[in-house]
């Protein structure tokens, strides 16, 4: 008779933990204590948290336990009304708090990974206190998770103002890779990737403007979903480039991504650029398999700079998916290289416009490299910016027609290279830095410009023991298809956990 392995509550998937809470097999207090203990380990290892309010988290857990017990006593099933009751979560520190969440204990306004925000938050608090201006609207995605019963217990590290793909942060300290801390966590949702990988939160909401959900998910060996532009309302979230910004979840489990996407997707009436399409049932098709699904492998661009190790990993993925019934087809994609550059024209211009007030008032509080990035739009003419936006329409139409008439999902690496070290991607690094940073977004940024949905799925470990990741891309609003493929890959190529190393460290 085998002895079942003891699983820490914080290592349960989100929906498994929530189910156990409802059934009385786990208490929110026990889950929260497990999460807090893991968070302490994760923080020492990766510096993934910027704020964590343990006492508020314990109070919220006790309250949730009372509600869970009362519901059980009354025979009320909370699965539909409060599916996440009692589950502690932590998110990228870029969302306006709801006011009731423990994570907002340090203030309603997020730091956005920058010291600049300390001044902004103080000034805002004064104005709010004096009744001069109303509090900003809480983030819709956090409010929806809270309405489902989840409790935000902390805020996670990120690249300053989301302007960086590696996880370096000179203001609050770098966020480090969950597997090997001398390597980058990826960015800009660096804390989200590292915290999920460490088991300090089962799921985390981040944002993706050039790969900022998918890159840290890939670097830390977890899943990251960048939904179609407009699927998730961005009310109450930090803007970097409103024409391109997308929020997205990072998690260990595809089922968790599907469940949470169901909760947070859909227009909120405040974000004018949120789609009013009714989201489908994302969980319903997860078990359907991929028999007959056409997986497109691009002949051009996406593998141009891929290392042999990455290519081999992608081939293993495709072989597994083909074995599960998928049809692998080669496709030639419209030239994707300019798409990333077009995206930069838009992002630079919009970022500078958004940061202009802060740059005028608090330029010295930016870290130098981020200040430079935030100022680059100064040199982009308005005509060029608008042209970059207008060009998007014919380019999107052509890309979708030429690619998704031939396949259902496109398969690429998420990162075409191995996860780089922190020192080789930091300020002052050698001449190879430029190329490394370009390669980090080589496969992700084109889809930000187009607005297409994409998911990063773990694809094993490289020779150094660092994660590899495959990316799948689909037609607009075909997130259900992406999740279905990811579920199959996750089942066929299960990924070990970064937190498995904690007993040895």
Partner 1 sequence: MLARLRSGLHWTDSLTAHRVRRFPEMTEPGVLQEGSPSSTARLPPDFPASPSLSTASVLELAALAGIPVDDEAMALRIAVGAGAAVTAVAAARAALQAAGALDDALLGGEAADHLALLESLAGDGAR
- Would you say 492 and 289 are in contact if contact means Cβ atoms under 8 Å apart? no
Task: Specify the stretch interacting with partner 1 by CB under 8 A; choose among 44-52, 89-97, 117-125, 361-369.
Answer: 361-369
398 is a contact residue toward partner 1 (CB under 8 A): yes
Task: Specify the stretch interacting with partner 1 by CB under 8 A; choose among 61-69, 247-255, 322-330, 366-374.
Answer: 366-374
Q: How far is the CB of 326 from partner 1 (least distance, A)?
A: 13
Give 126 or 322: the residue with its C-beta nearer to partner 1: 322
119 is a contact residue toward partner 1 (CB under 8 A): no
Annotated catalytic residue within 212, 241, 283, 469: 212
Sole binder of partner 1 in the list 38, 144, 226, 373 (CB under 8 A)? 373
Sole binder of partner 1 in the list 21, 87, 96, 163 (CB under 8 A)? 163
Structural element, H or E, at residue 455: strand 454-461
Closest CA to 188 of 347, 317, 399, 378: 347
The SS3 assignment for 369 reads: helix
243 is a contact residue toward partner 1 (CB under 8 A): yes
- The CA-atom distances, in angstroms, between 111 and each of 126, 271, 426 are 17, 22, 22
Backbone CA torsion sign across 28, 257, 193, 342 = negative
Annotated catalytic residue within 188, 204, 241, 283: 188
The SS3 assignment for 248 reads: strand
Q: How far is the CB of 487 from partner 1 (least distance, A)?
A: 14
Give 292 or 308: the residue with its C-beta nearer to partner 1: 292
Residue list 73-112, contact with partner 1 (CB under 8 A):
none
Closest CA to 36 of 224, 195, 251: 195
Structure tokens at 276: 């009013």
| 241 given a catalytic annotation | no
Residue list 329-348, contact with partner 1 (CB under 8 A):
335, 337-338, 340-342, 344-345, 347-348
Q: How far is the CB of 295 from partner 1 (least distance, A)?
A: 13
User: Tokens 């910016």 appear where?
Assistant: 385
257 is a contact residue toward partner 1 (CB under 8 A): no
Q: Where are the beta strands (DSSP E) in 280-388?
A: 294-298, 327-331
273 is a contact residue toward partner 1 (CB under 8 A): yes
Structure tokens at 18: 């929530």
The SS3 assignment for 245 reads: coil
Give 18 or 380: the residue with its C-beta nearer to partner 1: 380
Task: Specify the stretch interacting with partner 1 by CB under 8 A; choose among 11-19, 94-102, 110-118, 273-281.
Answer: 273-281
- The number of residues making up the chain comes to 505
| 188 given a catalytic annotation | yes
Closest CA to 222 of 277, 188, 182, 178: 178
Residue list 12-71, contact with partner 1 (CB under 8 A):
none
Task: Specify the stretch interacting with partner 1 by CB under 8 A; choose among 3-11, 49-57, 85-93, 396-404.
Answer: 396-404
Q: For every residue of 36-95, which 3-state class applies, written as one string?
A: HHHHHHHHHHHCCEEEECHHHHHHHHHHHHHHHHHHHHHCCCCCCCCCCCCCEEEEECCE
Residue list 169-188, contact with partner 1 (CB under 8 A):
187-188
Sole binder of partner 1 in the list 69, 133, 329, 372 (CB under 8 A)? 372
Q: Where are the beta strands (DSSP E) in 246-321?
A: 246-251, 294-298
375 is a contact residue toward partner 1 (CB under 8 A): yes
| 92 given a catalytic annotation | yes
Q: How many residues bind partner 1 (CB under 8 A)?
A: 95
State the number of CA atoms in the 13 A half-sphere of 222 facing the CB: 39
Task: Specify the stretch interacting with partner 1 by CB under 8 A; choose among 82-90, 190-198, 246-254, 374-382.
Answer: 374-382
Sole binder of partner 1 in the list 218, 260, 388, 468 (CB under 8 A)? 388
Here's the x/- map for partner 1, 419-458, by CB under 8 A: it reads as ------xxxxxxx-xxx-xxxxxx--x-----x-------
Q: Where are the beta strands (DSSP E) in 95-213?
A: 151-156, 203-208
Closest CA to 58 of 78, 76, 32, 40: 32
Residue list 469-488, contact with partner 1 (CB under 8 A):
474-481
Task: Specify the stretch interacting with partner 1 by CB under 8 A; choose among 1-9, 16-24, 95-103, 225-233.
Answer: 225-233
Q: How far is the CB of 114 from partner 1 (least distance, A)?
A: 15
324 is a contact residue toward partner 1 (CB under 8 A): no
Residue list 302-321, contact with partner 1 (CB under 8 A):
304-305
Sole binder of partner 1 in the list 24, 173, 323, 397 (CB under 8 A)? 397
245 is a contact residue toward partner 1 (CB under 8 A): no
Sole binder of partner 1 in the list 27, 352, 414, 499 (CB under 8 A)? 352
Buried b vs exposed e over 380-397: b needs ≥16 C-beta within 10 Å?
beeeebeebbebbeebbe
366-372: long-range contacts, CB 8 A cutoff, minimum separation 24: 366/114, 366/116, 366/160, 367/114, 367/160, 367/169, 367/170, 367/171, 369/164, 369/170, 369/427, 370/114, 370/159, 370/160, 370/161, 370/163, 370/164, 370/170
Quickly count: other Cβ atoms within 10 Å of residue 259's Cβ.
23
Q: Give the integer Cα–Cα distance in Å for 24 and 37.
A: 22
Sole binder of partner 1 in the list 86, 110, 149, 164 (CB under 8 A)? 164
Task: Specify the stretch interacting with partner 1 by CB under 8 A; choose among 79-87, 95-103, 120-128, 161-169.
Answer: 161-169
The SS3 assignment for 417 reads: coil
Quickly count: other Cβ atoms within 10 Å of residue 13's Cβ.
17
Give 152 or 342: the residue with its C-beta nearer to partner 1: 342
Give 311 or 390: the residue with its C-beta nearer to partner 1: 390
Catalytic residues: 92, 188, 212
């Amino acid at each position: 008779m085998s002895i079942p392995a003891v699983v820490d509550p914080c290592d349960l998937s989100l929906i498994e933990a929530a189910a156990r809470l409802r059934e009385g097999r786990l208490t929110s207090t026990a889950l929260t204590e497990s999460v807090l203990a893991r968070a302490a380990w994760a923080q020492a290892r990766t510096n993934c948290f910027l704020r964590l309010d343990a006492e508020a988290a314990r109070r919220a857990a006790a309250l949730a336990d009372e509600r869970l017990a009362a519901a059980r006593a009354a025979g009320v099933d909370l699965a539909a009304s409060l599916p996440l009751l009692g589950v502690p979560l932590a998110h990228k520190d870029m969302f306006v708090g709801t006011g009731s969440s423990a994570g907002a204990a340090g203030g309603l306004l997020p730091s956005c990974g920058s010291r600049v925000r300390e001044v902004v938050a103080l000034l805002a608090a004064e104005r709010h206190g004096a009744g001069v201006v109303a509090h900003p609207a809480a983030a819709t995605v956090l409010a929806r998770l809270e309405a489902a019963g989840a409790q935000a217990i902390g805020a996670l590290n990120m690249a300053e103002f989301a302007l960086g793909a590696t996880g370096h942060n000179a203001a609050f300290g770098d966020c480090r890779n969950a597997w090997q801390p001398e390597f980058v966590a990826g960015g800009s949702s660096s804390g989200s990737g590292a915290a999920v990988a460490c088991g300090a939160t089962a799921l985390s909401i981040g944002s993706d403007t050039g790969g900022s959900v998918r890159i840290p998910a890939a670097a830390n060996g977890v899943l990251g979903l960048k939904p179609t532009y407009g699927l998730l309302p961005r009310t109450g979230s930090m803007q970097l480039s409103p024409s391109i910004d997308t929020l997205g979840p990072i998690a260990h489990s595809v089922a968790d991504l599907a469940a949470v996407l169901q909760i947070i997707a859909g227009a909120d009436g405040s974000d004018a650029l949120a789609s009013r399409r009714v989201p489908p049932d994302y969980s319903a098709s997860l078990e359907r398999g991929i028999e007959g699904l056409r997986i497109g492998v691009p002949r051009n661009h996406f593998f141009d700079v891929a290392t042999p190790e990455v290519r081999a990993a992608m081939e293993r993925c495709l072989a597994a998916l083909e074995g599960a019934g998928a049809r692998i087809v080669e496709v030639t994609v419209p030239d994707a290289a300019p798409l990333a550059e077009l995206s930069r024209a838009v992002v630079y211009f919009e970022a500078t416009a958004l940061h202009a007030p802060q740059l005028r008032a608090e330029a010295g509080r930016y870290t130098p490299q981020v200040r430079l990035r935030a100022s680059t739009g100064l040199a982009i003419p308005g005509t060029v910016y608008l042209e970059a936006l207008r060009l998007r329409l014919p380019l999107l139409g052509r890309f979708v027609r030429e690619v998704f008439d031939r396949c259902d999902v496109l398969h690429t690496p998420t990162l075409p290279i191995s996860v780089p070290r922190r020192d080789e991607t930091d300020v002052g690094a050698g001449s190879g830095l430029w190329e490394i940073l370009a390669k980090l977004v080589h496969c992700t940024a084109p889809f930000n410009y187009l607005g297409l949905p994409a998911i990063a799925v773990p694809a094993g470990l490289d020779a150094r023991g660092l994660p590899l990741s495959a990316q799948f891309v689909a037609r607009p609003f075909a997130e259900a298809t992406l999740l279905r493929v990811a579920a199959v890959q996750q089942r066929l190529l299960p990924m070990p956990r970064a937190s498995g190393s904690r007993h040895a460290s």
